[in-house]
Amino acid sequence: MIPLPTNVEPSDEILLIDHIKSIQVKTLEPSLLRMADDLKSFWKNYTKNELTIVTDGEDHAITFEIESEKFDEVEAYELDIESDEVNIKAGTAEGIYRGINTLEQLVVLSHLHANSNFLSLPGGEIEDHPSFEYRGAMLDVARHFFSVADVKRYIDLLSSYKINFLHFHLSDDQGWRIEIKSWPKLTEIGGQSEVGGGTGGFYTQEDFREIVQYANDRFITIVPEIDLPGHTNAALASYAELNCNGKSTELYTGIEVGFSTLCVDKEETYEFVEDVIREISEMSPGPYLHIGGDESHVTPEEDFNRFMDRTLEIVKKYDKIPMGWYELITADIPEETLLQYWAKSADFSKVIPKKSKILMSSASYNYLDMKYDSITPLGLHWAGYLPVKKAYDWDPRSLVPDLDADQIIGLEAPLWTETIEDFDDLALMAFPRIIGHAEIGWTPKKRRNWEDYSQRLSYHGSLLDHLEVKYYGAEEIDWK
């Protein structure tokens, strides 16, 4: 199993698949009924057995039961597999969902690796909860655009490994990807380019709401990002008034960074920022709104800080927790701001005195666009090569010396798309490394070691093959 659960107690019992006749939902919550319906379809697909959905009084059932007084953590669950029934208990629907994730993974792996006809599951009890509250992935849709269908497919894969946040990098120099009704040229002009000169694309607000709901149904929170005040050439090309000289820039299709900035002295800039934040906040029920802040090399620090002071107030006005790359530390940030660390540890020493929560996204360990090795056909390597073992064998709480471990809320694996053009490219760079990141985020450090993990991961190649995911078949793993 990946992530490895907190505690597993095997038993001598064996569950015969044919003994399960129904899914019993004891709490008639809409989300639980939806999960039951999804599990029913899953069960038929893998076992050929048709289950009914009932509310009580059934033996030979997979039972969902909410016991809010028993569980302290939102995502904690218990999974008990006996000879003639399965019980999943949790304090919330989200906990039930994590238990279903584990059950389904057991079913798929048993199905794929059975020596004969798939007829049974091993019995036992699992008690499980996450090590970190934030276990995230980031997808850059600005440098290359990805369809709604591609994003949904990525969400499905992430949720199966208990990842619970998807950070959506929606704007950059190469493209603006989200419809803003009060500033329509952002997508009419800025949405029509991408790295290499492709046609780009954008999400309508209806598209974005559909993605948010799809993720929410899988207990993944969407974190929208509009990168400010740098990385803004697509916006500057769309509206001349956002430039200090009043002239629109040309659309940009390269990969260099740090050359663009909004004009921080113009009131039109802050009208633009407020409209964008307001419209995106209305579509995003999650707690965070990411405002970028990285690599604003042509924005003097005094101007950067003045811009961020005003922008942070706008984010708070619309009831969002500000989130940004660690360069925000030069501004007068609210204490609740979530800072995302991406550079080398020496650069992060500035953050240590602050009280803000920190999200670990070290380029050397987390960036999924870094090449696995020198012959990887895609990706970059400015932060070094990132083989599967290196991506797994580290700890977010001890990566940066002298940093208070209590500040660290979790980790996130960004996938920047300078060289990533389609879903197969995305899959090759994300898998299997993001599976290791999922385990780092979920499984306690004392339960993790490379030898055990690499053995378990070796069985997931067939799972990814079954799902038609074109993962990187690293030689470090003895794939089964």
Q: Is residue 474 part of a domain?
A: no
State which residues form the domain around 65.
Answer: 7-128
Q: Quick one: 43 and 192 in the same domain?
A: no
- What is the total count of domains within the chain? 2
Q: Quick one: 358 and 391 in the same domain?
A: yes
Report d(CA 287, CA 361) in Å as an integer. Answer: 19
Q: Is residue 2 part of a domain?
A: no
Among residues 128, 160, 191, the one where a domain terminates is 128
Q: Quick one: 235 and 186 in the same domain?
A: yes
Q: Quick one: 122 and 140 in the same domain?
A: no
User: Is the Cβ–Cβ distance between 65 and 42 less than 8 Å?
Assistant: no
- Write out the two tokens for 212: 């948010």
Q: Quick one: 179 and 78 in the same domain?
A: no
Among residues 74, 103, 128, the one where a domain terminates is 128
Which residues have CB under 8 Å from 200's CB, separation 6+? 145, 174, 175, 177, 191, 192, 193, 194
| Cα 176 to Cα 25, 215, 244, 472, distances in angstroms | 44, 21, 20, 30
Q: Is residue 344 part of a domain?
A: yes
Task: Tell me the CATH number at 28.
Answer: 3.30.379.10
Residues recognised as catalytic: 295
Among residues 99, 128, 157, the one where a domain terminates is 128
Q: Is residue 477 part of a domain?
A: no
Q: Quick one: 102 and 165 in the same domain?
A: no
Q: In tens digits, what is the pLDDT along the chain, a chain of 480 residues?
A: 999 999 999 999 999 999 999 999 988 889 999 999 999 999 999 999 999 999 987 789 999 999 999 999 999 999 999 999 999 999 999 999 999 999 999 999 999 988 767 789 999 999 999 999 999 999 999 999 999 999 999 999 999 999 999 999 999 999 999 999 999 999 999 999 999 999 999 999 999 999 999 999 999 999 999 999 999 999 999 999 999 999 999 999 999 999 999 999 999 999 999 999 999 999 999 999 999 999 999 999 999 999 999 999 999 999 999 999 989 988 888 889 999 999 865 556 566 556 789 999 999 999 999 999 999 999 999 999 999 999 999 999 998 877 788 999 999 999 999 999 999 999 999 999 999 999 999 999 999 999 999 999 999 999 999 999 999 999 999 999
Burial of 46 (0-12, 13-18, 19+ CB in 10 A): middle
E strands within 357-466? Answer: 357-360, 408-415
- Indicate the residue type of 467: L
Q: Quick one: 218 and 277 in the same domain?
A: yes
